[in-house]
Amino acid sequence: MKQRNILLAGLAVVLMLGSCHRPQSNQEKPLVAVSILPLKYLVDNLSGGSVEALVMLPPGTGHESYDPSPRQMAELAKARLYLTTGHTAFDETWLPNLAEHNPAMKVKELTDGIDLIEGACNHSSDHAGEHHHGIDPHFWLSPRSFRTMAATTLHELVALMPEQADNFRHRYDSLAAVIAATDTLATRQFSQLANRRFMVFHPALTYFARDYGLQQIAIEAGGKTPGASDIRKLIDQARADSIRIILVQREYDTAVASSVAGEIGARTTRFDPMAYDWPENMKQVIDVLGKSLQP
């Protein structure tokens, strides 16, 4: 904790120095910062390259432990807009500092219109480093929530560059059609299933499961790896539910999931909740889950 406070203090200086940069020329693109890669996908597709997007959490990094580099912080000092999912340890640690030292930057959490789920999963940590319950931040993994996030992003981009409003809205219509097609694909895939339970290491598909009438069984509970007795219960439940695959996020170790899978004759499958190509990533999740739940 002391080390992080020192880092915060040092990066505050970087931010203040960075905020003294020269005003943007007419040729420079506005800088929009985002917390994760799927939000960059939104910004890129809605803006058509008329803004520059800066991602704060690189691929493969954990929300709980990642500290942005001095270079990222210096770049962020130039940002006019910051879009985030909120409700992660990264946001809780860094957003107050960013807002204080870059007051010209608007911070927007893309939660408007989304029915948030409490208590299922939260990446936040208290001062002792313990995982605690709160708002599940993985709503971008639900096509229905992602479309709502796209609409909010459109609103923010139009406010940032009103002269591009028609272009942004036209691009939104195209993107909304892609998201709607993904929603339709998931609805058709899961609407007639008798077995609706699937297993995942970290509970990142809570919103997805809710929207398509599925039940997510998470190996990790409350941010903690299960003990021996818990693993035995998971094995028994997996057998009862005829689990064929266990989804494991890219940033997590597969050891426990592989152990459970070995006991029940299933296999583990990697997926990346933070993948940039959101439509392709969701199609893969839908396909894998759909096949594993078929009789």
User: Within a 10 A sphere around the Cβ of 20, how many other Cβ atoms?
Assistant: 7
Question: What are the sequence ranges of the domains in the chain?
Answer: 2-183, 192-293
Both structure tokens of 36: 């994760």
State the architecture of 192-293 in CATH terms.
3-Layer(aba) Sandwich (3.40)
DSSP one-letter code for 162: G
pLDDT score for 93: 81
pLDDT score for 18: 45
pLDDT score for 27: 57
| pTM (2 d.p.) | 0.85
Query: β-pairing, 81-84 with 31-34?
Result: parallel
DSSP one-letter code for 140: G
Mean pLDDT by 10 residues, the chain (295 residues): 48 45 59 95 98 89 77 90 88 80 91 88 39 77 98 98 98 98 97 93 95 95 84 95 93 89 95 95 97 90
The CATH number, out of the four listed (3.40.190.10, 3.30.70.1380, 3.40.50.1980, 3.30.1490.20), of the domain defined by the range 2-183: 3.40.50.1980
Whether 192-293 and 2-183 are alike in CATH topology: the answer is: yes
Residue 35 backbone phi and psi in degrees, to 5 = -80, -40
pLDDT score for 22: 40
Both structure tokens of 290: 């759909």
